[in-house]
Amino acid sequence: MKKILNDPFSYAEETLKGLTRAYPQYYRLVEGTARVIARAGEPRQGKVGIVSGGGSGHLPIFTGYVGPGFLDACACGDVFASPSADEMAAAMRAANGGAGVLRLYGNYGGDVMNFDMAGEMVEFDDITSTTVLLADDVASAPLAEREKRRGVAGMVLTFKIAGAAAEAGLDLDGVTKVAQRAADGCRTMGVALSSCTVPQAGKPTFTIADDEMEVGMGIHGEPGVKREKLKAANDIADALLDPILADLALPRGERVTVLVNSLGATPVEELFILYNRIADRLGDAGLTIAHPLVGRYATSMEMAGASLTVLPLDGELENYLTAPAACAFWKV
């Protein structure tokens, strides 16, 4: 196992401990937990709280995006495993400023079950909560079955937009509606070039030949839509963009933001090579790119590969996307 770790069974805890030690200006470990992170300081009274959570191994997702203008708290599980309902409830309590809490997380069975249970648990603390499920992965189900799609890198954009809406003072209903609108717009498509190794498994999650790639693979190694020979960057960009554009069916003249994301090992150099083709193609389609992001925003540890997210913007979404925010991983 070519990883830097002490004990596979404490990988998540040690990661989160290091995160809070290195960046105490942003993050604190919630007392009585080992894997629940909240913003430094007390929750802001009267502000809607936003919680997320899910398996570890995707930094900066999920925990990295806790901070002003972003999430308030986050429950993390072991690598690629759901946190417990108790941990999620602890995150909700830590995020609660008396104005309700939005549960904003990826559409995965274990997370849905546990976050639903956590929502019931905190009702006893008089915490009202709503849910927006993030389901941006075009490859994971056809458009007609959107409720089956998984949440991947597009989650980051919805975190940012919802976080800014809460910071701006919208009430729980308002923040929930903005988050839902961003979530509804997000489309992501990924390609994997190599596997990662879950520490507790100790060997790569899947195998893939040296000359192959898998289009549409999920961020935990869920099967994609096709495995084929590794193509040139421009062809990979097309393979990511075509299903997104077909799904969104945008008229010319729209504004969109794009997120070109490395799954981990793929260097940002190669993301910029992809970006050239994506920008050309979106320009040809009459679309204007606003505030593109290129980098590592949602990873699968050391998996090689990349994903593309496209989110159509209106004035409100764009304002929230570009509003000030601070955490250790948000760069522009």
Nearer Cβ to its own copies (132/241): 241
- Within residues 134-193, the interface with its own copies by CB under 8 A covers 193
Taking each helix axis from N to C terminus, what angle separates 233-248 and 268-284, rounded to the nearest 10 degrees?
50
Whether 291 is catalytic is: no
Interface with its own copies includes 22 (CB under 8 A)? yes
Sign of CA dihedral 205, 207, 211, 214: negative
Cα–Cα distance between 187 and 151 in angstroms, integer? Answer: 10
* Nearest approach, Cβ of residue 255 and its own copies (Å): 16
Show the tokens assigned to 35: 């894997």
C-alpha distances in Å from residue 117, one per residue of 111, 112, 255, 260, 265: 10, 9, 38, 34, 36
Question: Could you say which of 37, 71, 239, 301 contacts its own copies (CB under 8 A)?
Answer: 301
Mapped to the 3 state alphabet, what secondary structure does 253-301 carry? CCEEEEEEEECECCCHHHHHHHHHHHHHHHHHCCCEECCCEEECCCCCC
Question: Could you say which of 38, 51, 52, 56 contacts its own copies (CB under 8 A)?
Answer: 56
Interface with its own copies includes 61 (CB under 8 A)? no
Nearer Cβ to its own copies (112/279): 279
DSSP code of 30? P
Nearer Cβ to its own copies (105/329): 329
3-state helix, strand, coil in the chain (%, to 5): 35, 25, 40
- Given 58, 149, 150, 277, which residue is catalytic? 58
Nearer Cβ to its own copies (127/308): 308
Cα–Cα distance between 256 and 170 in angstroms, integer? Answer: 24
Residues 6 or more apart in contact with residue 231 via CB below 8 angstroms: 213, 239
Question: Could you say which of 36, 71, 162, 294 contacts its own copies (CB under 8 A)?
Answer: 294
Nearer Cβ to its own copies (60/119): 60
Cα–Cα distance between 72 and 163 in angstroms, integer? Answer: 8
Strand pairing partners for 27? 39
Cα–Cα distance between 167 and 324 in angstroms, integer? Answer: 10
* Nearest approach, Cβ of residue 51 and its own copies (Å): 21
Nearer Cβ to its own copies (38/118): 38
**How many H-runs (helices) and E-runs (strands) does the chain carry?**
8, 13
CA atoms within 13 A on the CB side of 220: 15
Interface with its own copies includes 276 (CB under 8 A)? yes
* Nearest approach, Cβ of residue 189 and its own copies (Å): 14
Interface with its own copies includes 236 (CB under 8 A)? yes
Candidate ranges 29-37, 81-89, 119-127, 272-280; the one touching its own copies (CB under 8 A): 272-280
Interface with its own copies includes 19 (CB under 8 A)? yes
Whether 220 is catalytic is: yes
- Total residues binding its own copies (CB under 8 A): 57
Interface with its own copies includes 106 (CB under 8 A)? no
Question: Which sequence positions are flagged as catalytic?
Answer: 58, 220
Give the footprint of its own copies on this chain (CB under 8 A): 2-6, 11, 14-19, 21-23, 25, 56-57, 59-60, 193-194, 210, 230, 232-234, 236, 260, 264-276, 279, 292, 294-296, 299, 301-302, 304, 306, 328-332
